[in-house]
Amino acid sequence: MALFDALIHRGPKKYVESWMPMDEVLRRIVSRFPLTVVDRERGDRIVRDHLAELIRLDAHTVVVEDWKALEGHVAYVTILEETSGPRFHFFLSERPTSIEIDYDHEEDRDVCRPLLEELEEALGEYDLISEDPEEPPDLKPDDMLDGVRDTIGEMHLRWEGDIAILAAGPHPDGEPFPQASDGLHWCDDSTNVILDLSGFASCSAQDLIEWAQMIIQTAQARDRELRLCYPPGTVDERLTRYFRIGQLPIHDSLAEALAAGESEP
């Protein structure tokens, strides 16, 4: 899994989605880096490619429509100071809550770091976040922050064939999650993972996002497909936006999520 660097917008309220308008982001970038390349055609191609993949995965209609609306309002930006010097790239939308950095090669990350820090300074309202998900948490109880552990205190794990289902609330055929036993591992021993959030209506969106990040990183590092299910309006809208940004398939019910897996080639 690739290394991860991103600039996250720092808004006035910690857990409320915010952004700097795209035009202002570009104005500040071009002012600081005159050789910046703003490729709007490539941005639109990225949208179309993502849209085709979402349709292939039978993603939720709301997610598909969100991506359709992006075309014509995006760009693929290349930052450089010298024509033969270090450079990196990123996809930019009209409302960039986060800016995820692309490198031509993983080894470019270190040499581009000063340039990336200059970009952070030029934008002013974005914080640089760096992660290396090569060693994802195994999601044992001790991996959890206290607040997150309390939030998911009634999670359970059960199996449908070789599909691991992580769901809210007690279940007679399930085991507590995170796993404390040495039985079948929810990720290593599964082909796919379904995250059922239908019982989480009263939980903090931020706690759920922190928890879901651990699930997503672990599943993706092990090349497991992750699907989500919850009825519309069940969870906080901020959490829904978070999953849309990650392009994760969202289904209205567990039956629908299981059927989506059965229909894949």
The answer, yes or no, to whether the previous bond of 178 is cis (omega within 30 of 0) is: yes
> Where do the CATH 3.30.750 domains begin and end in the chain?
141-262
The larger pLDDT score, comparing residue 168 to residue 207, is at: 168
Q: What is the mean pLDDT of the chain?
A: 78
pLDDT for the residue 25 = 97
Mean predicted confidence (pLDDT) in 99-117: 92
The sign of the dihedral angle between the CA atoms of 94, 98, 99, 100 is: negative
Whether the predicted pLDDT of 151 surpasses 90? no
Percent of the chain exceeding pLDDT 90 equals: 30
Mean predicted confidence (pLDDT) in 63-87: 91
pLDDT for the residue 263 = 54
pTM of the model: 0.56
Of 113, 126, 123, 43, residue with least CA distance to 78 = 43
pLDDT for the residue 2 = 44
Of 186, 193, 194, 204, residue with least CA distance to 150 = 204
Whether the predicted pLDDT of 4 surpasses 50? yes
pLDDT for the residue 114 = 95
pLDDT for the residue 140 = 46
pLDDT tens by residue, 47-62: 999 888 888 877 667 7
Half-sphere exposure of 48 (CA within 13 A, CB side): 7
Of 132, 133, 264, 137, residue with least CA distance to 192 = 264
pLDDT class of 97 with cuts at 50, 70, 90: confident
Range from 39-48, 81-90, 149-158, 238-247 carrying the lowest mean pLDDT: 238-247
The larger pLDDT score, comparing residue 55 to residue 232, is at: 55
Place of tokens 């599943």: 219
pLDDT for the residue 225 = 81
Q: What is the CA radius of gyration of the chain?
A: 20
The larger pLDDT score, comparing residue 75 to residue 165, is at: 75
Domain 141-262 top-level CATH class: alpha beta
Whether the predicted pLDDT of 144 surpasses 50? no
Q: Are strands 192-196 and 225-229 parallel, antiparallel or unpaired?
A: parallel
